[in-house]
Amino acid sequence: MANNTHITREIADWSRDQTFDRIPREARRIAKRCMLDGLGLMVIGARQECTRIVRDHCLEAGGAEEATLLGENPVKVPAASAAMVNATAGHSMDWDDTQLSSYPDRVFGLLTHPGIPPLAAALAISEKKGDVTGEQFITAFVTGFEVECKIAEAILPKHYNSGFHSSGTIGVFGAAVAAGKLMGLDQGQYRHLLGMAASMGSGIRVNFGTMTKPLHVGRTAQSGVTAAQLAARGFEADPDGLDGQWGFFQVAGGGFDLDKIQGKLGSPFSIVDPGVSIKPYPCGSLTHPSMDAMLGLVKENDLKPEDVEGVVLYAGKNILNPIRYETANNELEAKFCMPFLLSVILLERKAGAKEFTDEYVTSQKVRSMMSRVRTQLDPEIEAKGFAKMLSRVEINLKDGRKLVRDSDARYRGGPEFPLSDEELQAKFTDCTEHFLSADTRQEIFTTIAELEKPGNLDRTLGLIKGE
């Protein structure tokens, strides 16, 4: 790849020029689904210990009352702090949306959780400004979402394979662009914004299964808002921060594929094609096809935990390497522990907010079931490549029978098998029923579906804060 590219300038120009009318109707529809999903996750995520600690840290630091920390006991803090806390909450349960790729050589981990960074940043700036319309909010969210997805697709897989967490390192661009859009930055300011974001993104995979993984996403939103605020004041960075020998693409990924981003912004919008996954389970999407295969076997055969002698999951390294815990000692590890994830399906026939707590994960019935589940590398599955999340579940019963099911390549939640509106609303209810009434939730469903209508953004923000 030549070093004389101009991707930073292209992103700046494209972002500045985006308008509501240029965004396809389908992109707007899916964006609203991602917003509803993300808001629910911020509310339930506010209860997580990692969020509580970050929240307490920001409250102790104090500052201007500009934007709200969502969840119980909402309170206002500086916009960048609100973005960090809400984004940490939004990713704390690993239940947020997942980017898909148009290219089979882009491993799943390289791609991002694209919704929370621009959503948290847009929420913070909208509250601080106070005069943002629904159309402007949607435009900022989709613009940031698109830039984040295209950068993640363009950078070489070495970025992820070297140990970077893309949602942290690349999510910052989505947050920065969304914030910059709402602040009305010009082309020059956008380029400085992107240059700052290139230095601010961070996160390494060693922290998967710890509180620091959701903090990666929290920091993307905080840094994105900060970069936009500084750029608006005239703060400068290299105007070609993604390009060249010392730019983000080369330093963080050893380069990028020019043809995956040049001329591709909005052509098509990634939120539509290849699409986005809205997760049915609060854990890595790599695990979902296996969990659904398990759920199918359990329901069809009316299995009880006491019927099962043992379970084996066969998969490739694309699943077994990142989903690395052989047993889970807390809910953070549980998200990356296949024995737990298959056990909870067998025990409860579901996996939602109530199952992902330290108390549940460490309960005797869960620990007993986990001890009967193991994983094994399957060379035949491995040889099929990583374009699909392939696996096979085998359940050995105490009566001598063996039940086997391959995972469905059309995993639930993905664009080929999306959650229905009713399923998405049920997920939102699972996340918010401790805080919002049924009537309030129903009104939120309506206001987000019609977010572009005058007054609906302000009404949605009030409702999600419990006002």
Q: Quick: pLDDT tens for 419-466.
A: 999 999 999 999 999 999 999 999 999 999 999 999 999 999 999 999
306-361: pLDDT as tens digits: 999 999 999 999 899 889 899 999 988 998 899 999 999 999 999 998 899 999 99
Category of 12 on φ-ψ map: left (φ > 0), alpha (ψ -120 to 50) or beta: alpha
Strand partners, 110: none
- Number of helices (H) and strands (E) in the chain: give both, helices first: 22, 8
**At 47, is the secondary structure helix, strand, or coil?**
coil
Q: What is the CATH number of domain 285-406?
A: 3.30.1330.120
**Fold for domain 7-279+430-464?**
2-methylcitrate dehydratase PrpD (1.10.4100)
CB neighbour list of residue 362: distance below 8 Å, 6 or more residues apart: 329, 330
Asked if 384 contacts 243 with a C-beta cutoff of 8 angstroms, the reply is: no
CB neighbour list of residue 397: distance below 8 Å, 6 or more residues apart: 303, 307, 308, 309, 403
The residues of the chain scoring below 70 in pLDDT are: 1-3, 107-110, 386-387
98, two tokens: 């997942």
- Measured CA to CA in angstroms, residue 242 lies from 8, 10, 187, 418 at distances of 6, 11, 15, 34
The DSSP code for 331 is: H
268, two tokens: 């098509």
Cα dihedral value 443, 83, 42, 425, nearest 10: 40
Q: Give the pLDDT score at 387.
A: 62
Distance CA 16, CA 180 (A): 9
Distance CA 180, CA 182 (A): 5
**At 204, is the secondary structure helix, strand, or coil?**
strand
251 CB neighbour count, 10 Å cutoff: 15
409, two tokens: 């390549």
Where helices occur in 310-412 by DSSP H, the ranges are 317-320, 331-334, 338-348, 358-361, 364-370, 379-383
335, two tokens: 């998200």
Cis amide leading into 214 (omega within 30):
no
Q: Which of 35, 42, 119, 71 is CA-nearest to residue 450?
A: 35
Q: Range(s) for CATH 1.10.4100.10 in the chain?
A: 7-279+430-464
Q: Give the pLDDT score at 395.
A: 98
Strands of 225-307, DSSP E: 276-277
Q: Range(s) for CATH 3.30.1330.120 in the chain?
A: 285-406
- Measured CA to CA in angstroms, residue 196 lies from 7, 139, 366 at distances of 15, 22, 46
CB-based burial, 367-392: b 16+ in 10 Å, e otherwise: bebbebbebeebeebbeeebebbbbb
